[in-house]
Amino acid sequence: MRLQWMSVLLLCSLFFSACAYKEVESTSPSVNTAKRLSAAQAHILLGQWALAKAQLDRIPSEEQSLPYVRLISLYWLSVPHQDEAALVYTDALQRYPHDGFLWNNYGVLLGTQQRWHEACDAFQKAAERSVKQRQSVQINLSRCALRQDRVNLAENHLQQAKEIADLPLIGLMTELNLVLIQGDSRKARIIFNNIQADKEFARGTAHFDEYNCLSWHLTAHETDPTLYLSASNFTCLNGSRY
């Protein structure tokens, strides 16, 4: 259940930014289909996956266009059947190969399987194929860069994410990873305090291990600064998902 809820927490901002534009469809959805899509979206945002799927299943096949495909892709991130989810994404990307929203979600799916190289490729495609920059993609690319020990690149992507909007929890934890690697304990404490302001949320997500790892390293930095005279090469991302 915790992992299922995390799908919404990770992807709500992604979904809204992705839906800020629409590809031109050959036909517009009927009134009933539009209502079902709206209801399904509301259920997804509340983590009511079964109810969302029930609405989506009642949409006629001839009206299962891009808005439907985006929502059903979110549903398949919530279920443990990853092989089936992969098939859904393969079909979706064959139909809409230039949709950055789908590529970003596919990267998230690959990340849950620890297929980091392929996930990062998917995030890069998401960046290249989006009409405008989206914060979730930039955060994911920053995390990719940290995994690749490309600290400067990670910082550049994170700066772009911050220019779009205030960082969500996953963005703050990414930034905390970054500044701890850079050895900036003062800035790390400020970021960690911001995360702690929403500590119950942090502890209730699939990034719980990452949160604990960051807390431990920050305490170590502050307790004995002589152990961290230069930038560290550690990362707390290994036990987390995108």
What is the predicted pLDDT for the residue at 22?
Answer: 39
- 219 pLDDT higher than 50: yes
What domain range includes position 51?
Answer: 21-124
Min mean pLDDT across 1-5, 27-31, 79-83 is at 1-5
107 occurs within a structural domain: yes
Q: Answer yes or no: are the C-beta atoms of 46 and 76 closer than 8 Å.
A: no
What is the predicted pLDDT for the residue at 99?
Answer: 96
More confident residue, 220 or 199: 220
67 occurs within a structural domain: yes
Q: How many CB atoms lie within 10 A of CB 130?
A: 20
How much of the chain exceeds pLDDT 70, in percent?
80
Q: Provide the pLDDT confidence category of residue 37 given band limits of 50, 70 and 90.
A: very high
- What domain count does the chain have? 1
What is the predicted pLDDT for the residue at 154?
Answer: 96
88 occurs within a structural domain: yes
94 occurs within a structural domain: yes
What is the predicted pLDDT for the residue at 1?
Answer: 39
For 129-151, what is the mean pLDDT? 92
Task: List, as own/partner pairs, every contact residues 185-193 make where C-beta atoms lie below 8 angstroms and the sequence separation is at least 24, other chains included.
Answer: 185/218, 185/221, 185/222, 185/225, 185/228, 188/218, 188/221, 189/218, 189/222, 192/218
What is the predicted pLDDT for the residue at 121?
Answer: 97
Tell me which residue has tokens 């050895």.
183
In this structure, what CATH number is given to the domain that contains residue 82?
Answer: 1.25.40.10
Selection from 173, 43, 68, 70 nearest residue 130 by Cα: 70
Q: Provide the pLDDT confidence category of residue 183 given band limits of 50, 70 and 90.
A: confident
36 occurs within a structural domain: yes
Mean pLDDT computed over every residue of the chain: 83
48 occurs within a structural domain: yes
Distances (CA, A) of 76 to 45, 102, 166, 214: 14, 12, 28, 30
Selection from 125, 102, 75, 99 nearest residue 24 by Cα: 99
- 13 pLDDT higher than 70: no
200 occurs within a structural domain: no
What is the predicted pLDDT for the residue at 199?
Answer: 58
- 108 pLDDT higher than 90: yes
221 occurs within a structural domain: no
The token pair that represents 32 in the structure block: 């009933």
